[in-house]
């Protein structure tokens, strides 16, 4: 990952003249007896599959699939994909493909920096399934580790930006700036709304990819983007500006004092968002202190590899008054049933996508794993470490600047933190430098060929050495025929003060003062802290996480290994394409495979989460209608059962949402659909449909639904969250859709990382292909492309390797078998549990798809038990709860995936059956209605081993309800969390240490609520 690892020189292989006989030998089974990856990925073996079929009451897996997936949508041909590779073959092939990526020293900057991932974090967080396989911490009692780490992230961001509240990450800097635009727009005063204040000012010195994404997001909402020079902005001439976006330091490296700008903005009722470089804030006055209302940016350079574009965590900080408009998740502090400090996601009902078409953001999956890495980087280095890293980068930049000036170059910037812009009279000077730099393995930022003033940009970072500075100077001198001895380099390097930013912007305030940033600086301490947190969290390393709609399947080690290879991790997203040919080939192969799997014609790998895919897909539909002179088509029909991101994305894409009802079987209500499609036929833009439905059913009417929408001139958007039930059996194109997104972090094995990263590429039919997103910096997409939806051209490129690996190692047959077994596992659970828990919906033949919903609502009446009680009680058995109350309140949705073995599924079923007996005991009056194992769940070790035990059941019943639990016990570290308390007393930064001792409630209140 770090640039120290270079591709090795491999000797040329010997040509094998016998290779033509290889085919013959491979017919001998002994000679082709390789370990098959699909057999590792898929849980139940052939014998177990047969036994499970018998339990379901079908004679074979084929019969089950026939009874589940409607014949009319079955694929007629098997998937045509490259044959499956073994894990060993895959890694060997990928290693040679990796050599086609060239690791040049990157000085490109533009929001991405080389950095050093402390090895203790690399191995124990990024490469550790104990950190990357958890789900978003909705079940907070078994997620205290990552919640604490994400709280550290928020505290770090609050400290460095000096704003009052921060979220637990967004997708990238450009989309974070776009989220800020939405917030500023939503927060307009009544007067501004009346005055139709709909102009966003964007400094021309913002990162180009940020400007591009802002344009994308503003256009459908009819928000005008005014790009200009902030120093000459005439506010009187532009009275409709509601918000401004500035860059600090700018793309050219300039460091402006924005105080006067912020004052002027506020006087004109406009808000200011500053996109800031996190490292620079260690030295510079933070945005919160010079009047900014919002600070956004990327935490990438805090120890997260560039990865050719991602994944990295973006941050978002603002003032307390905007907490309900803040996009993304916020971690907060509360108390548990015993009054102890406990963390959980705060103010969940204000999470934007829950507000559906009233939302101001569609963000759902974010970048939790990378936020954790960045937070750990701050924990590892502490304030003084971060300050000395920033000071060193800045001093090297100043030394380079002074040397360049001595060499006779002119700098375009007056001040800098880490970036210099060297400007020239003639483009030929720039070209000579480029030529020289390329031959010596260096990438700088170059002005476009048509720029009025040619320049070369140089950004330094944590990895830059003294020697690197000298090499850069040699490069500039030799390429332009200048005399290096003029510099007096040694004298310059001896200068005491190498600070060069405006004196008014010297940071005076402290940061990272909390003990967590000051006690884990030795590696032993750090390692133990990382492990201490990891041990609090239930992940796939412990047991199955049967979260319906989330597809928590195996994230195989072989799929993960290449992500941290330097050839993939160390590339800048804007590196010249001829240096990234390995990546380009992987993208092409992955795109082809996704086209084959979906039946579509083209793919964009840019959207970096499912909801971003929804948004991008809807924008292609919008562009398509416009290209045909039908710009008026703006109605999106969305079933009431759809995920909240669907309506949120539709509104962001400028559409009006019309909700379509579902019938008692959970299917789209055809009468309602017909009526609404007819009613809106002139303006129908799209139908958004999830297939199989979020109710876990393959609706047999799906083709009819798609035909109906097409007949009224609309397009069909398929939400691909449930693609794990389709691959190889049917496809989005087969059912009649025009575009879909794929959650690669569900079906295609990217781990959930505790709430991200993810990837949401979109696949489209041929007529939508011309509109797939382009990019402002890297030339992709057609002439009709919509502007970018993400900061990087291929989104979070480095994790595409995971999905690529999965497809290469499974092959077409393996992928199809995985889908079949996913359906088998769900139907097996149905067969085992349906007599005890009513199953809400099933298909025409009584079969579930790959997930199913158990209805727990009646237990409230019979035993006072709620779905949440069952969810919490499952923790005592060592299981994470299935999806709770989505899409139907009072239910749980179970999705076992194909990767779970029969043994594990049986354990889950036994736990559910045991819980049913516990409910029965309450129903029959044998257990107390309020003091019982469900209401008091989960039980911590502390509670169970306390001297006092005042319950009506035994400690044994509380903690070890089944024999096998004893051996596999996972202890929740806090009791049931009081969410209401936490929301009423909102604390979103690390609480003082005293709050962990003595009277927690008092000390939490002393922190004050945000
Ligand atoms: C059905 C459905 N659609 C869309 C999404 C949003 O995807 P993402 O979280 O990747 O943005 C989800 C997320 O879980 C989902 O379940």
For residue 357, report the distance from its CA to the centre of ligand 1, in Å: 15
For residue 895, report the distance from its CA to the centre of ligand 1, in Å: 15
For residue 492, report the distance from its CA to the centre of ligand 1, in Å: 55
Could you read off the pLDDT of 643-695 as tens digits, one per residue?
A: 999 999 999 999 999 999 998 888 899 999 999 999 999 999 999 999 999 99
Q: To test ligand 1's pocket by mutation, which of 353, 356, 364 has the most ligand atoms within 8 angstroms of CB?
A: 364
pLDDT of residue 492: 87
pLDDT exceeds 70 at position 403: yes
For residue 645, report the distance from its CA to the centre of ligand 1, in Å: 7
Which residues, 6+ apart, have CB-to-CB distance to 324 below 8 Å?
347, 350
> Which residue stretches of 138-172 are H helix?
144-161
Distance CA 795, CA 604 (A): 9
Task: Answer yes or no: is the C-beta of 647 below 6 A from any ligand 1 atom.
Answer: no
For the purposes of burial, counting CB atoms within 10 Å of the CB of 99, is it exposed (0-12), middle (13-18) or buried (19 or more)? Answer: middle
For residue 279, report the distance from its CA to the centre of ligand 1, in Å: 32
Average confidence score pLDDT of the chain: 94
Name the band, by pLDDT with cuts 50, 70 and 90, for residue 16: confident
For residue 507, report the distance from its CA to the centre of ligand 1, in Å: 41
List the beta bridge partners of residue 383: none
CB 795 within 8 A of CB 310: yes
Task: Indicate the range of 476-490, 893-907, 955-969 predicted with least confidence.
Answer: 476-490
Q: To test ligand 1's pocket by mutation, which of 551, 643, 725 has the most ligand atoms within 8 angstroms of CB?
A: 643
Could you read off the pLDDT of 384-396 as tens digits, one per residue?
A: 999 999 999 999 9
For residue 364, report the distance from its CA to the centre of ligand 1, in Å: 7
Parallel, antiparallel, or unpaired for β 199-203 and 241-248?
parallel
Of 211, 202, 254, the C-alpha closest to 233 is 202
Could you read off the pLDDT of 319-374 as tens digits, one per residue?
A: 999 999 999 999 999 999 999 999 999 987 656 667 788 888 899 999 999 999 99
> What would the mean pLDDT of 17-29 be, rounded to a whole number?
62
For residue 178, report the distance from its CA to the centre of ligand 1, in Å: 20
Which residues, 6+ apart, have CB-to-CB distance to 798 below 8 Å?
305, 307, 308, 309, 310, 311, 563, 568, 569
Ligand 1 atom at minimum distance from 353 CA:
6
Ligand 1 atom at minimum distance from 614 CA:
4
Which residues, 6+ apart, have CB-to-CB distance to 804 below 8 Å?
586, 589, 590, 593
Task: Answer yes or no: is the C-beta of 549 below 6 A from any ligand 1 atom.
Answer: yes
Could you read off the pLDDT of 793-805 as tens digits, one per residue?
A: 999 999 999 999 9
For residue 471, report the distance from its CA to the centre of ligand 1, in Å: 48
SS3 category, 291: coil
**N-terminal to C-terminal alpha carbon distance within the chain:** 39
Q: What percentage of the chain has pLDDT greater than the value 70?
A: 96
pLDDT of residue 359: 83
pLDDT of residue 532: 98
> Which residue stretches of 852-977 are H helix?
858-863, 867-876, 902-923, 941-944, 955-959, 963-968
Establish how many alpha carbons lie within 13 A of residue 553's alpha carbon, considering only the half-sphere containing its beta carbon: 35
Task: Answer yes or no: is the C-beta of 721 below 6 A from any ligand 1 atom.
Answer: yes
pLDDT of residue 457: 98
Distance CA 626, CA 771 (A): 11
Nearest CA owner, ligand 1 atom 16: 549
Nearest CA owner, ligand 1 atom 7: 610
Distance CA 915, CA 320 (A): 42
> What would the mean pLDDT of 954-977 be, rounded to a whole number?
97
Task: Indicate the range of 387-401, 593-607, 773-787, 993-1007 predicted with least confidence.
Answer: 993-1007
Name the band, by pLDDT with cuts 50, 70 and 90, for residue 1004: low
For residue 903, report the distance from its CA to the centre of ligand 1, in Å: 29
Which residues, 6+ apart, have CB-to-CB distance to 990 below 8 Å?
151, 152, 155, 514, 516
For residue 616, report the distance from its CA to the centre of ligand 1, in Å: 14
Task: Answer yes or no: is the C-beta of 364 below 6 A from any ligand 1 atom.
Answer: yes
Task: Answer yes or no: is the C-beta of 611 below 6 A from any ligand 1 atom.
Answer: yes
CB 549 within 8 A of CB 691: no
> What would the mean pLDDT of 21-39 be, rounded to a whole number?
72
SS3 category, 738: coil
Ligand 1 atom at minimum distance from 549 CA:
16
Asked whether the CA dihedral 843, 846, 852, 855 is positive or negative, the reply is positive
pLDDT of residue 1002: 57
Parallel, antiparallel, or unpaired for β 883-884 and 852-855?
unpaired
Nearest CA owner, ligand 1 atom 9: 365
For residue 798, report the distance from its CA to the centre of ligand 1, in Å: 21
pLDDT exceeds 70 at position 631: yes
**Looking up tokens 């966003």, which residue turns up?**
200
For residue 610, report the distance from its CA to the centre of ligand 1, in Å: 5
pLDDT of residue 108: 98
| Phi, psi angle pair for 200, to nearest 5° | -105, 120
For the beta carbon of residue 931, count every other beta carbon within 10 angstroms. Answer: 12
Could you read off the pLDDT of 192-237 as tens digits, one per residue?
A: 999 999 999 999 999 999 999 999 999 999 999 999 999 999 999 9
pLDDT exceeds 90 at position 51: yes
Could you read off the pLDDT of 833-883 as tens digits, one per residue?
A: 999 999 999 998 999 999 999 999 999 999 999 999 999 999 999 999 999
Which residues, 6+ apart, have CB-to-CB distance to 657 below 8 Å?
356, 357, 636, 638, 647, 650, 651
Distance CA 369, CA 377 (A): 12
Could you read off the pLDDT of 577-617 as tens digits, one per residue?
A: 999 999 999 999 999 999 999 999 999 999 999 999 999 99
pLDDT exceeds 60 at position 18: yes
Ligand 1 atom at minimum distance from 612 CA:
11
pLDDT exceeds 60 at position 9: no
Edge-to-edge order in the sheet of strand 224-228: 165-166, 314-318, 294-298, 271-276, 241-248, 199-203, 224-228
Distance CA 580, CA 619 (A): 29
**Looking up tokens 């009431």, which residue turns up?**
640
pLDDT exceeds 50 at position 57: yes
Task: Answer yes or no: is the C-beta of 643 below 6 A from any ligand 1 atom.
Answer: yes
Task: Answer yes or no: is the C-beta of 459 below 6 A from any ligand 1 atom.
Answer: no
Of 304, 930, 785, 816, the C-alpha closest to 569 is 304
Ligand 1 atom at minimum distance from 365 CA:
9
Nearest CA owner, ligand 1 atom 14: 550
Distance CA 125, CA 750 (A): 15
Cα torsion 942, 944, 946, 952 to 10°: value is: 140
Q: To test ligand 1's pocket by mutation, which of 175, 354, 610 has the most ligand atoms within 8 angstroms of CB?
A: 610
For residue 667, report the distance from its CA to the centre of ligand 1, in Å: 19
Of 217, 202, 212, 170, the C-alpha closest to 616 is 217
Task: Answer yes or no: is the C-beta of 719 below 6 A from any ligand 1 atom.
Answer: yes
Ligand 1 atom at minimum distance from 886 CA:
16
Q: How far is the CA of 751 from the CAs of 21, 369, 747, 772, in angstroms? A: 41, 10, 10, 26
Could you read off the pLDDT of 744-767 as tens digits, one per residue?
A: 999 999 999 999 999 999 999 999
Q: What percentage of the chain has pLDDT greater than the value 90?
A: 89
């Amino acid at each position: 990952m770090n640039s120290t690892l270079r591709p090795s020189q491999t000797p040329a292989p010997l040509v094998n003249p016998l290779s033509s006989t290889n085919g013959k030998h491979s017919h001998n089974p002994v000679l082709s007896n390789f370990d098959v990856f699909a057999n590792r990925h898929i849980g139940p073996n052939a014998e177990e599959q047969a036994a499970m079929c018998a339990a379901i009451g079908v004679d074979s897996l084929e019969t089950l699939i026939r009874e589940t997936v409607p014949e009319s949508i079955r694929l007629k041909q098997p998937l045509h994909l490259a044959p499956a590779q073994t894990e060993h073959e895959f890694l060997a092939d990928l290693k040679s493909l990796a050599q086609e990526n060239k690791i040049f020293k990157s000085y490109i900057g533009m929001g991405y920096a080389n950095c050093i991932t402390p090895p203790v974090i690399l191995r124990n967080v990024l490469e550790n399934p104990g950190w990357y396989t958890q789900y978003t911490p909705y079940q907070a009692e078994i997620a205290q580790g990552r919640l604490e780490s994400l709280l550290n992230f928020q505290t770090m961001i609050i400290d460095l930006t000096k704003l009052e509240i921060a979220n637990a990450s967004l997708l990238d800097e450009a989309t974070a700036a776009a989220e800020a635009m939405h917030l500023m727009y939503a927060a307009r005063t009544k007067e501004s709304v009346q005055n139709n204040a709909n102009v966003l000012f964007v400094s021309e010195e913002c990162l180009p990819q940020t400007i591009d994404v802002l344009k994308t997001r503003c256009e459908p909402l009819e928000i005008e983007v005014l790009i200009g020079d902030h120093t000459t902005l005439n506010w009187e001439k532009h009275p409709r500006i509601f918000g401004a976006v500035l860059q600090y330091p700018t793309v050219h490296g300039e460091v402006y004092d924005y105080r006067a700008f912020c004052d002027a903005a506020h006087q004109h009722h406009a808000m200011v968002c500053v996109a800031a470089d996190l490292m620079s804030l260690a030295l510079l006055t933070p945005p919160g202190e010079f009047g900014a209302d919002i600070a956004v940016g990327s935490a990438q350079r805090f120890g997260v590899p560039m990865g050719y574009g991602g994944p990295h965590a973006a941050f978002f900080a603002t003032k307390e008054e905007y907490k309900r408009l803040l996009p993304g998740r916020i971690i907060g502090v509360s108390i548990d049933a015993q009054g102890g400090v406990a963390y959980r996601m705060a103010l969940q009902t204000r999470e934007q996508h829950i507000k559906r078409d009233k939302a101001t953001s569609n963000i759902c999956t974010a970048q939790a794993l990378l936020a954790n890495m960045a937070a750990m980087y701050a924990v590892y280095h502490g304030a003084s470490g971060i300050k000395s890293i920033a000071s060193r980068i800045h001093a090297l930049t100043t030394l380079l600047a002074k040397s360049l000036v001595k060499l006779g170059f002119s700098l375009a910037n007056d001040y800098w933190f880490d970036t210099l812009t060297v400007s020239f009279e003639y483009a030929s000077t720039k070209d000579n430098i480029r030529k020289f730099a390329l031959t010596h393995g260096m990438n700088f930022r170059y002005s476009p060929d048509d720029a009025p003033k040619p320049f070369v940009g140089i950004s330094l970072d944590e990895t830059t050495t003294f020697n690197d500075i000298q090499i850069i100077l040699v490069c500039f001198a030799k390429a332009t025929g200048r005399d290096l001895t003029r510099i007096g380099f040694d004298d310059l390097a001896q200068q005491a003060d190498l600070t060069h930013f405006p004196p008014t912007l010297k940071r005076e305030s402290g940061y990272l003062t909390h003990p967590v940033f000051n006690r884990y600086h030795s590696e032993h301490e750090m390692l133990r802290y990382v492990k201490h947190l990891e041990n609090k969290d239930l992940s796939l390393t412990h047991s199955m996480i049967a979260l319906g709609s989330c597809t928590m399947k195996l994230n195989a080690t072989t799929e993960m290994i290449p992500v941290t290879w330097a050839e993939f991790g160390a590339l800048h997203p804007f590196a010249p394409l001829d240096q990234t040919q390995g990546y380009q080939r992987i993208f092409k192969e992955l795109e082809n495979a996704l086209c084959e799997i979906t039946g579509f014609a083209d793919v964009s790998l840019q959207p970096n989460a499912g909801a971003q895919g929804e948004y991008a897909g809807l924008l292609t539909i919008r562009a398509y209608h416009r290209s045909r002179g039908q710009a008026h088509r703006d109605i999106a029909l969305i079933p009431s059962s759809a995920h909240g991101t669907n309506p949120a994305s539709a509104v962001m894409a400028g559409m009006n949402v019309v909700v379509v009802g579902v019938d008692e079987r959970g299917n789209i209500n055809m009468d309602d659909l017909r009526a609404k499609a007819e009613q809106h036929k002139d303006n129908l833009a799209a139908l958004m449909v999830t297939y199989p439905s979020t109710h876990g059913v393959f609706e047999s009417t799906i083709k009819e639904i798609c035909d109906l929408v097409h007949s009224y001139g609309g397009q069909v958007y398929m939400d691909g969250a449930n693609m794990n039930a389709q691959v190889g059996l049917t496809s989005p194109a087969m059912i009649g859709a025009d575009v879909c997104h794929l959650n690669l972090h569900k079906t295609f094995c990217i781990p959930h990382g505790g709430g991200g990263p993810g990837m949401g590429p979109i696949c489209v039919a041929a007529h939508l292909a011309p509109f797939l997103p382009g990019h402002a910096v890297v030339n992709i997409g057609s002439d009709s492309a919509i502007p970018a939806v993400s900061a990087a051209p291929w989104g979070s490129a480095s994790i595409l390797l995971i999905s690529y690996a999965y497809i290469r190692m499974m092959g077409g047959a393996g992928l199809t078998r995985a889908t079949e077994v996913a359906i088998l596992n769900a139907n097996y659970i149905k067969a085992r549990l349906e007599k005890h828990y009513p199953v809400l919906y099933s298909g025409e033949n009584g079969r579930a798809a790959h997930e199913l919903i158990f209805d727990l609502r009646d237990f409230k009446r019979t035993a006072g038990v709620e779905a949440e009680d069952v969810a919490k009680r499952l923790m005592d058995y060592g299981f994470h709860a299935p999806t709770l109350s989505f899409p139907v309140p009072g239910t749980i949705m179970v999705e076992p995936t194909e990767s779970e073995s029969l043994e594990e599924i049986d354990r889950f079923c036994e736990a559910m059956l045991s819980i049913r007996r516990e409910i029965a005991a309450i129903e029959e009056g044998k257990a107390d209605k309020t003091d019982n194992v469900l209401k008091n769940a989960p039980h911590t070790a502390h509670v169970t081993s306390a001297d006092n035990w005042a319950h009506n059941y035994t400690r044994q019943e509380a903690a070890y309800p089944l024999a096998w639990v004893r051996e596999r016990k996972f202890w929740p570290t806090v009791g049931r969390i009081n969410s209401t308390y936490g929301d009423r007393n909102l604390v979103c930064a690390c609480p003082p240490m005293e709050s962990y001792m003595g009277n927690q409630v008092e000390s939490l209140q002393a922190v004050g609520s945000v």
